[in-house]
Structure 1
């Protein structure tokens, strides 16, 4: 009888822990920025890394290889969105803000694009799939492990010819864009890397003459985790005309948004 009681207790405890992990806590953190980032980006990631002996980017790549059609960029985007909504959160721009990104790319119709922060290549694929023929997308990624995964995701989408992925720090690479990469100015810049680099990298692009009159900067996560110094700069500077697109942190209900800033010269 004691063993049966113990078995029931263990089973009930395990069921409660699973319910907390799978449904209750994720539902609660959907509406709280700090808790959402700690839960998804620290606790859950570490648990899954230990259990699966893999990394989150590797698991995202696996979802792409299992569920996306080779050579179909939009199926790659859908596969990642489905995985991140239903299995494991990740710091992609996400499906909701991704639609805003799509609309800006389509509106600008850029010939030259700079992306700061590749991660697993989600937004890279999203942008490149909308570019006109012969357009050039350069994406910078500091983390070599992320870059390895991103290259495979980009290849699965069939977009290697449109994308040049460069490993290294943005502060080191931005000054080399003209001489090393043959770019005079960028029509569109998507900022989605370290948040404390948004402002210094924007100023660096100005100093290097990489922005022309009409160049568009689109910055992600300006509310969560937040980029207050960058927002103050682009909103107060007479050199920019800015517009905020309210949305939500990827795959949650936490407020976040994108800031679109047109360089006026």
Structure 2
């Protein structure tokens, strides 16, 4: 259930936090709130998708794990109620978070431009798009504003509440359906929405070590239409080793993949990659779309397997303890070297 008390504080606009829409703009709001929120060590922890290790749902520790997300919501609510204003407010806050040493986490700035460029190439009137990882609704707004009908999945019910508030504020609730739950449980149900034609675009925005599980379901259920586009964020930052091997090397006839260099909205010097894969061929009769989730893939080279394991370890540590920027950078540089040695990377 959504944390109603926390959301109530937002919509009631407490004088010491939010202020009135008329009397205080996004810049003043940001300047007032950031110093207060950054006093807590928990706020600097990377992300709020804390799980108990069983993938059955989110758990939360004490502290300010939700402060960043509430601040994103507040920034949107004091902006004009339009998609463009909401995105700009979130981008602006993202840059401020970066100055404070905090990962903004949403795919803004250059990442949003890349996603929108990929979406511009899909055909059809009001194309159907699937997003795995709603977070606070930034990418859902971007895609819906282009004319797409968006189906998006988020495991954390607190973030679902924030995303729905944001979407309602900008008038896009009718174009975006937000589902609460884990992708492995929801994707089979969402197959009914797409029908036999599948989704024209699927955007994956989770941790890179989790992408193979999503890809298995996407292929097994036929969720991505032939000629459809599969976009994945954070494939360098979160080291999506197994996923990149599959779409770039293992099934060369199934996908045509480009790796594009992008930067984080929170830090222009922070390099990341996004992958854009066009689905060019379906699996043949009797051909398994991918390995069973959780089983070792013996076709994955040893160095790539080690990267996959390290990515998963970082994911667990990130959700339960602080992972330093220096460690993230070290792993990124190691992954980048191995990827490029196999001709996987920006061309």
CA gap of 1:84–1:199, structure 2 versus 1, over 3 A, is same
Per the alignment, residue 28 of structure 1 pairs with none
CA gap of 1:164–1:43, structure 2 versus 1, over 3 A, is closer
Per the alignment, residue 308 of structure 2 pairs with none
In the TM superposition, residue 211 of structure 1 has moved relative to its aligned partner by 2.0
8 Å Cα contact 1:246-1:258 kept in structure 2? yes
Structure (1 or 2) with the greater helix fraction: 1
CA gap of 1:129–1:196, structure 2 versus 1, over 3 A, is same
In the TM superposition, residue 212 of structure 1 has moved relative to its aligned partner by 2.4
8 Å Cα contact 1:40-1:89 kept in structure 2? no
In the TM superposition, residue 54 of structure 1 has moved relative to its aligned partner by 5.8
**Counterparts of residues 31-70 of structure 1 (less than 5 Å):** 41-42=44-45, 55-66=67-78, 68-70=79-81
The CA distance in 1 between the partners of 2:117 and 2:86, in whole Å, is 19
**Counterparts of residues 186-205 of structure 1 (less than 5 Å):** 186-205=199-218
- Please list every run of 5 or more consecutive structure 2 residues that lacks an aligned counterpart in the other structure: 1-33, 36-40, 49-61, 282-347
CA gap of 1:169–1:42, structure 2 versus 1, over 3 A, is same
Residue 115 (structure 2) aligned to one of 101, 106, 114? 101
Per the alignment, residue 261 of structure 1 pairs with 277
User: Scaled by the length of structure 1, what TM-score is found?
Assistant: 0.76
The CA distance in 2 between the partners of 1:44 and 1:201, in whole Å, is 20
Aligned residues: 220
8 Å Cα contact 2:153-2:178 kept in structure 1? yes
Deviations 1:93-122 (A, max 9, x none): 121211111111122256110000000001
Per the alignment, residue 321 of structure 2 pairs with none
CA gap of 1:102–1:53, structure 2 versus 1, over 3 A, is closer
Residue 125 (structure 1) aligned to one of 134, 141, 146? 141
CA gap of 1:263–1:182, structure 2 versus 1, over 3 A, is closer
The CA distance in 1 between the partners of 2:254 and 2:65, in whole Å, is 49
Per the alignment, residue 88 of structure 2 pairs with 78
Q: Which of structures 1 and 2 has the bigger CA Rg?
A: 1
The CA distance in 2 between the partners of 1:42 and 1:177, in whole Å, is 32
User: Scaled by the length of structure 2, what TM-score is found?
Assistant: 0.59
CA gap of 1:119–1:53, structure 2 versus 1, over 3 A, is closer
RMSD, aligned α-carbons? 2.5
- Please list every run of 5 or more consecutive structure 1 residues that lacks an aligned counterpart in the other structure: 1-20, 23-37
CA gap of 1:109–1:73, structure 2 versus 1, over 3 A, is farther
8 Å Cα contact 1:224-1:256 kept in structure 2? yes
**Counterparts of residues 78-227 of structure 1 (less than 5 Å):** 78-87=88-97, 89-109=103-123, 111-131=127-147, 135-179=148-192, 181-184=193-196, 185-227=198-240
In the TM superposition, residue 149 of structure 1 has moved relative to its aligned partner by 0.4
Deviations 1:140-178 (A, max 9, x none): 000001111010011111101100000000011111123
In the TM superposition, residue 254 of structure 1 has moved relative to its aligned partner by 1.7
The CA distance in 1 between the partners of 2:243 and 2:43, in whole Å, is 26
CA gap of 1:197–1:262, structure 2 versus 1, over 3 A, is same
- The answer to which of 83-92 and 252-261 deviates more is 83-92
The CA distance in 2 between the partners of 1:39 and 1:79, in whole Å, is 24
The CA distance in 2 between the partners of 1:197 and 1:240, in whole Å, is 19
In the TM superposition, residue 249 of structure 1 has moved relative to its aligned partner by 3.0
